[in-house]
Chains A and B, each alone.
Chain A
Amino acid sequence: MTQLNAANTPAAGAHPDTPAAAQVTVTGLTVDGPAGVVVKPFDFSIAPGETLALIGESGSGKTLSAKAIAGLLPAGFTARGTIELASATIELPATDAVWRATRGRRISLLLQDPFTSLSPVHRCGTQIAMTIQAASATRLSKAECTELVTQRLAEVNLPAEVARAYPHELSGGMRQRVAIAAALATDPELLIADEPTTALDASNQGEILDLLRGLQEKRGMAALLISHDLGMVRGRAEHVLVMRHGEIVERGVTSSVLNAPSHPYTRALIEADPSLTDRSAGVVRAASGAGAGGDAATGVGDLVVATDVTKSFGDKTVLHGVSVTVGRGETVGIVGESGSGKTTIARCIAGLEHESSGVIAFHGVALAPGRASRTPKQMQIVFQDPYSSLNPMISVGRSLKLALRVAGRPASDLNGLLQLVELPLEFARKRPAELSGGQRQRVAIARALAVQPELLICDESVSALDVSVQKQILDLLAKLRVELGLSILFISHDLAVVRQLADRVYVLRHGDVVESGLCHDVLTAPTHPYTQALVAASIHEAPTH
């Protein structure tokens, strides 16, 4: 194979062993797609040891820009521009031979999802060792490799035993540490991190970002941090670029951009950012307080009372006696990380899982476990992923008419239903594929509301959406609860999102309710150490006002 030899061309051999001490400069970076320019030309430079954040929502072109710099654009896309590194200058589009000498040694790319970015059938140590070997000029012995792998693991605060583990044996945070060790094993001059913490739980996110920051400062390595999350960038990047529709709309020093944004889009992003401050939450809660939300406070009656619900899958117990109450017209949040049991309790209430023990009562009448004992009018559920919860083969109108028929309502109610979720009437003819994520989630909500349920269960219903869309959907839910007097059970891993909508909140951890109470009290003065840690983790990422 010629590729192996080509990697040792003189250009590659010139790579210095010491960390680079010059800045990374990219000029005129442009990405062309099959239908014309996707990313318009832009320049940036990053000083050694510093971080530049590239912020944008999905579809803004930020990931394509990252892939262009790493030479990993998908077929059909080409890049133009110049990348100047300490050891080489790369003119885009570059040949395969140039990229072989560049990728890993000079520029490395860390991907979003540690669950898929490591090969599941290779041991973690092997995957790190491969990278070390690929960048080494000489053939390393087994003992040398083991030694180097242990060093790399120690750098990311992992014990040497992790080398023997397969990725599925590690937690998400540990996997991302292994991926960081693998990405940095070649000592690149520039690390591109594409949403490196989006797939992780809140308490892991801060740790991973701070680890990256430390490693980067130690090596004098430049970093390009790609993110959709403005809050995450504060305190972790010197400069920030805001990209929208393939164009840089704002750039500058991070703190000045966040505190005094000049472009309306940046302002909108900051407004939409679900922070723990009262500023954005106030809008929604003011609306809800005027209507049905008021009833809940006066205690008209409980709609759903789940008492001591336990659930085991095989010999694994995921719920250890969880009690949750949703009052009439009340919005209740359940917060927890993945594996906390928050989705399981919601599914038990909806009858999609059979609880092992405990009582779930609706209007004071106990319901037998399972779907059969429940009617559609009692409760409906809106799932996380609007891309998979709608049938792609039938039009929006037909989906909704089917739901109306179940409720025994005439098909002519369709227009009213679309208006309710603020969708144009002509959307009835469209198929899910023609809709954006936010529009699809509106359709999913409309479908759930077609039967006029008393309780709406939202299982991570906004987590798959961009922040600005998230805010629109949350506003819609707030409006609906006022207009229809809905009770909402809102499941989320995201404290800030729950804060915007919920009257009361339960914090779930390992199948136990560790804390519950009025949303405002729990999130501003948490008493349980776990809640305190969660709140601290999300405040750290949120912009302060």
Chain B
Amino acid sequence: MSDKITNWTASDDVMVENAIRRGATRRELLHMLLAGGVAMSAGGFLLGRASDAAAAAPKSGGHLKAAGWSSSTADTLDPAKASLSTDYVRCCALYNRLTFIDKSGLTKMELAESVESADAKVWTVKLRSGVTFHDGKTLSSNDVVYSLKRHLDPNVGSKVNSIAKQITDVKAVDPLTVAITLANPNADLPTILAMHHFMIVQDGTTDFSKGIGTGAFKLETFEPGVKSIAVKNPNYFKAQGAHLDSFEYFAISDDNARVNALLSGDIQLAASIKPRSMKLVESQPGFVLSQTTSGNYTNLNMRLDLEPGNKADFVAGMKYLINREQIRKSVMRGLAEVANDQPVSPASIYYNQELKPKAFDPEKAKFHFNKAGLVGQSIPIVASDAATASVDMATVLQQAGAEVGMKFDVQRVPSDGYWSNYWLKAPVHFGNINPRPTPDILFSLLYASDAPWNESQYKSAKFDKMLVEARGLLDEGKRKQIYGEMQIMIAEEAGTVIPVYLSNVDAISAKLKGLEASPLGGQMGYAFAEYVWLDA
């Protein structure tokens, strides 16, 4: 990046990218930029940058070393159990999904040729022909049936068991056709099938240490908690296979160590660096930051069924007391977008743009706290390093509280066991939610009355009814409208405060080309290995 734009911030980047995803035209974009006080050339530059990336011809060959941030002996190559980002990256390189979500958030076909339904209840999946696994066997409908049915078996320990439960029947119609029957109509099925866990494995596989899939890379070595090496699959079914000859993936959990390894040239990609490391990377020539906002967020949960969350004024006060702008600027160093207390990301086509975030207003907050009779009482807030940036957010809240006479007692608890011990349980605590591809999944998992992770114990019969109604609709306009209303309900009624959507920043060597932002998360939705190349 030779030409530096002075008043261009990370959030502007996100704004433009999201606008592009929502389908803004070039004209609209330039208008937006001008309104934002950004010089004309900047807009041209940014749009130009996107086309540059597309125009550059990929080079073949080379060995890529990349590092994620978490890895342990629990590392697995079983897509159903994948839980850490390192697992996702490996699975994306070794396996394929029936469908995938492209960089603009649209669902595209991968192993499937088509996924169709007349009533959103019974679906027909046509598979591509001539796809082979790494061991030479041909992909058939039996593999798909096996892969999908695994998630229904509680003994497998699938992470998407609760989502997969709506599948009542999967059967092979012929070698290349699969019929999927759902309990209730769900128009989102093609998008659900694009989730990382629904990767297609070989029929009958129980030992996943070999990593046999249809993916762009074949597994060479895999040591859980240490590293993995994969080499290019010469028989890949896509016309354009992997550019790299091989790639090595491991984790460096210490943020500074990961950045330093990148800067010293030991690795070419350092995934998910902390905002405070950006200064260092930017100060060194030959490195680029790649930012994505994918809908990951850290939220404050107030249980509506427990003290003090059962006082509606406490919840209302907290929504005004949280200084979203300060969290964005100081805690996240600009690597975030101010959010409006509901889980649908601004990158989603269903995002309700009319719903504005509540402004920081200590006076209004104080009014509500007074009404609730809570001023002067000590209220514990549980935070942990397990929920990204929650300790810092709690400190910001604590300070704002002190100014209106509220005593927040921030309790930093260990990351270890946080999700089973404090999350969902403590009266006021922080959570961290990973991006989910559809509003339906988010709402069913987090806000429906019977949701497994109903963080604030929000119960609304009206909400539940709207959820079921929207799920079966094939009319996009109608759906968007219902989801928009549901977002308002969550923001106003639920006990969750979502201050910002977090951005993910990957730092890469300038020699690494082809890495693009993806709505599924950093590292190109964890699938970068197949698309990137090394420019020697």
B and A form one assembly: no
